[in-house]
Structure 1
């Protein structure tokens, strides 16, 4: 799936959603790095994240950091049915609050003017957060998703965005997954059912370079 021939990314109406730029995901010493390392290296993840972020900033596109819940003891105590995904993260104590792993990876830390969204408990950056309200207050209609993981938080956030009426772009090599099969499924099978565009980093940068206000 390619971008339309005309620019679709009006900087005043587009936001880059960077999901979970934590040390635990993106640093080789992080707790969850071994989970995504193989596909991250295959996609040249870090270089593409840096390039996408730089291109968005250069184009004047708003950057939203969409962080997962930082684990704390007792998070799911008394819950009726936390998901296997939530229990797995709790078991690993991923992004434990106050830990190095829950700090932003230094290459992708927010800058002044970026928006940090309230933490999401599940896969969606929209559910039980302020993301939709913040986007609407900025007049955003188009969202571009990068970060982790392709077939969990990225896919769930993208699907939720589409249901809320946003134009959704996935960047296929600015994300990673636990296996090549999961990455393939996210972009070749599931992605086309909700995303309006699925681009490589180079394709997105090309589209942003010609974007201008509508």
Structure 2
């Protein structure tokens, strides 16, 4: 992969699914990702990146999963395995603490908050592509949860739409180390233009 520069006006930082259920102690999914998250310093890296991209004047976009409500998926012909788990666990429930933003990653004035995605791609059946294109975005940095599901699907879709795609290997997590390996060593190199660490990405950002 070639060295990448990130144009200030043409880059967006896509933060996927920053909910309490994923990122906070007491969240429904957090215990499942905690070993991987703790091992790579996920929360601190997301904090560092959030601060760095904002200081650099880069557009932040929150890319949220659909928040569960009673009746969701129950009459679908073929909900995905992930959707069936959400139906059973009520993860990211609308109006509950678990479906609220992690306090460190709540949207700030000027952020894009995309329509909620029902599946795994933040672009499929949402307004994210339109809103990025309207601002002349050409490069996307995709972070958040989970590495091998919503991050991979969102990043793959971004590539198909013509964006330059960056993954950040220590600003995401998964249920198992093997899933992280697949996301960054096996699958990611087939579609991502850059796969960096938090430190490498911060060093490549334009100066604030």
User: Which TM-score band applies after superposition, normalised by the shorter structure?
Assistant: over 0.9
Whether 1:88 and 2:77 are equivalent positions in the alignment is no
Within 1, Cα distance between the matches of 2:129 and 2:10?
A: 13
* TM-score between both structures, scaled by the size of structure 1: 0.95
| Kept after mapping to 1: 8 A contact 2:8/2:206 | no
* TM-score between both structures, scaled by the size of structure 2: 0.97
Q: CA deviation at 1:77?
A: 2.8
For structure 2, the residue ranges without an aligned partner over 5 or more in a row are none
Q: CA deviation at 1:201?
A: 0.1
Q: Please, which of 183, 186, 191 is the counterpart of residue 189 of structure 1? A: 186
Within 2, Cα distance between the matches of 1:210 and 1:185?
A: 33
Within 2, Cα distance between the matches of 1:78 and 1:47?
A: 40
Show the counterpart of 1:152: 149
SS in 1 for 2:205: helix
Counterpart mapping for 1:96-107 below 5 A: 96-107=93-104
Show the counterpart of 2:139: 142
Within 1, Cα distance between the matches of 2:44 and 2:20?
A: 16
Within 2, Cα distance between the matches of 1:19 and 1:201?
A: 16
Within 1, Cα distance between the matches of 2:83 and 2:98?
A: 17
SS in 1 for 2:200: helix
Q: CA deviation at 1:116?
A: 0.5
What is the number of residues matched between the two proteins? 208
Within 1, Cα distance between the matches of 2:90 and 2:74?
A: 14
Show the counterpart of 1:66: 63
